[in-house]
Amino acid sequence: MVKVKICGLKSISTVKYAVRCGVDYIGFVFFEKSPRFVDIYSARKLTDLVPAEIKTVGLFVNASRRHIEKVSKEARLDYLQLHGQETPEQVGKLKDLLGIPIIKSIGIAEKSDLEQVKEFEDTCDQLLIDTKASTSMKLPGGNGIVFDWGLVSDFHFECPWLLAGGLTSKNVIKAIRISGANQVDVSSGIEKKFGVKDPKKMSEFIEVVKNDGKSRK
């Protein structure tokens, strides 16, 4: 069964709905420039709504170690997702300090970008393979842009990974079949406007992914 991560939730109603729909991971964005940003106080109220079998993920972009430590403890996060220019050395030190599993985002635009995978596989617990952000984009991810899934179709990952980048209920099954992903991450593809989640799109996305997983058993 393919797992689903929904990123950028920031309201009680959407978190409760995602839980009812059967999501596997719920991501909270702690990057202030994002329209999906939540503060520590709000995040703590939201993570309290998430049952133990669903993992909570905190997304950070080039944040200080002190800030990540404070947020992860107060918001009680299960995973950290690093979406900036963090180095393998920085990731390793952070993991040793906090003892929390880490997901590192890697932007892909061409085959050579996959060289970064080898740099992080020994340090990270999971990788997030996303569309590489251009210099004109304000956000490092969640921009609703698809990359060529064929770039990872024959690539061997040594650690678990999630596919992201412009996924919707209409293209996610094709993306899974081409890329070979068994975990997917969605944000903009389930929004009615930038930063605002659409419950209908959320349920449709999860249903499509889960039903396809059942049909392939």
Q: Which residues are catalytic?
A: 7, 130
The H-assigned helical ranges of 48-180 are 65-74, 88-98, 115-120, 172-179
Residue type for position 191: E
Centroid of chain to Cα 205: 15
| Pick from 178, 174, 159, 166: nearest CA to 209 | 174
CA–CA distance, 129 with 126 (Å, rounded to integer): 10
CA–CA distance, 110 with 182 (Å, rounded to integer): 21
